[in-house]
Amino acid sequence: MTAIDYDLEFLEDGRTIELISIGMVCDDGREYYAVNSDADWDRVRKNDWLMQNVWPHLPLRGHKSGLVTVGGKVQTRLTEPGVVDTTNTQVKPRWVIANEVRDFIQATDDPALWANCGAYDFVALAQLWGPLVRRPKGVPVRTNDIQQERARLGVAWDELPQQESGEHNALADARHNQFVRRWLAEQEARTP
Ligand SMILES: [Mg+2]
């Protein structure tokens, strides 16, 4: 088994899930990151949570940032959102991302997918290729969940290693997922 830890940022409204960005890291050392140029950016812009947490990590142009006081703390925040920078090579049409993610997974020896609270991540991943049954050959039908592994090992949620930076950047999140999964495996190895 070769683990692929991944994370998606997405726009969801209780009925649909739409890909914004995807990050994948494989235990063989490869990494992948892409931003969906076909995302409905008008709807993303209307979503305050996405604009605060996800948007600042995307490749942008025409944006401005400044110091803003939030809850008594001075933070750097975007004061002008700008637009997603479609001249950045990480920004790609969804069909290109579907092909590249397929190739990434198919290049993996006996792949096992891992995500953190990954139910929605897996749905948005599988929908890259349409209905679940249209998954390309070799793409697993399910994702292992770091939180299930945590619970199985009797580790409390707040005992997990914390992410230092980049939370909600899909690639930073995928790297952190890999770190946490490996940390959990070490805890298990240490248990007599
Ligand atoms: Mg994330």
- Per-residue pLDDT averaged across 73-77, rounded? 86
Would you say residue 192 has pLDDT above 80?
A: no
Distance 142 CA to ligand 1 centre (A): 18
75: left (phi over 0), alpha (psi -120 to 50) or beta: beta
Are residues 156 and 184 in contact, defined by beta-carbon separation less than 8 angstroms?
Answer: no
Are residues 49 and 20 in contact, defined by beta-carbon separation less than 8 angstroms?
Answer: no
Distance 118 CA to ligand 1 centre (A): 10
Distance 10 CA to ligand 1 centre (A): 9
What is the distance between the alpha carbons of residues 42 and 134, in angstroms, rounded to a whole number? 29
Where do the DSSP E strands lie in the chain? 2-12, 17-26, 31-36, 60-61, 64-70, 73-80, 83-84, 91-92, 111-115, 143-145
Superfamily of chain region 2-58+89-190? Ribonuclease H-like superfamily/Ribonuclease H (3.30.420.10)
Per-domain residue ranges for the chain?
A: 2-58+89-190
| pLDDT tens track for 16-70 | 999 999 999 999 999 999 999 999 999 999 999 999 999 999 999 999 988 888 8
Q: What is the mean pLDDT of the chain?
A: 96
Would you say residue 191 has pLDDT above 90?
A: no
pTM for the full predicted model: 0.94
Distance 7 CA to ligand 1 centre (A): 5
Radius of gyration of the chain (CA): 17
Question: Among 26, 1, 4, which residue's Cα sits nearest to residue 146?
Answer: 4
